[in-house]
Structure 1
């Protein structure tokens, strides 16, 4: 897939195994992206990569320039985007280190630049967001997971919260009542903006910790999250390698 871009989230500020060929600085009408687009080859296949939170992981979720990141990827000719994200597990199946390919999203974020359709419009524009993720790319990710021998969860509802704080236990109870399986801070407006640009976009969610009030109910620490992401991101690497080598 020479038209594939990967957006790296927490735990994936650089793509292990990527043979870098060049870095491309892209200026956009919406400000600067999180960093240059890194072009390279993964197992001999062309891939582009951008770290959502910056190369030093210093951009918090509510300050990510989602519009600039996605506009930059499309501007340079990329059409398929795999968005890797660390999430918290809400429902019992979503235990730490599991990988899920969400099929639905609920947006709890606020005050983020969430659309391209607001200035100098010839007419009001609405997008169909019934199925928020690209079915073609979701299917390929699920198949890649199977090919890599991973027990990937093929359906999940992603609850996108504002951050940067983690949620309260009561908020997680609400999210579960609403039907959320995982919770993260970057799933929106990224998915909707990708749809507005006509990108084939899918999410690869790595469970980094039990959500507040889940699991054994202990306090969540960054050490715990980091340790789980080491294992989880190794699975993501295997999945991505299987994806780029699939036909």
Structure 2
């Protein structure tokens, strides 16, 4: 399949890896994969950049302030500018339904800002602020890690790249290590990761649990639900699939 120009509009940064299989496969097919992240700390950005490099993704940051994301004109202009500069064929972003249930800060406001920005990018909005950029409409949007997917992408051939890229996110792995240790009992952790009690650093703990979790999720979408792939990423396409004829 011929590569496309794909743009991920993410919030925190780990999304680059979470849908990194689809992004990496697009690059392997001759396409270009971009990611623009709203909230990523100065400490995290070099790690996200390194993960993106592993996957072949070109990075950009809009540098919103944590806790202060709002649906203002200025915020929407940032998203519009990214879309018009990249001119993607496909946009990937977070699942609106999931964002409202997720208690990560800023996700709800970010979701509305992203969708408003996508909608306005193809209209006569803020042309005076960016006269060098023409409106650009997006024909296809996919929501990543959705509650109700209608699409799965085989990422078996880039699975090792996803694992390598996730391992680079040291701050996230350290945070996850502390989180999982408080969220689960010692017994559950041992069942999930045999030998967990022998791990000494937060990074090792977070990375070990993420490996188990990632494999379970990707196998579930790839094989367990009467699928045909070893590992798959789940997406929800916005709107109907428009086909010239049925495909198998």
Q: Normalising by the residue count of structure 1, what TM-score does the alignment of the two structures yield? A: 0.33
Higher Cα Rg, which structure: 2
Higher strand share: 1
> Larger relative CO (CA 8 A, sep 6+): 1 or 2?
1
Higher helix share: 2
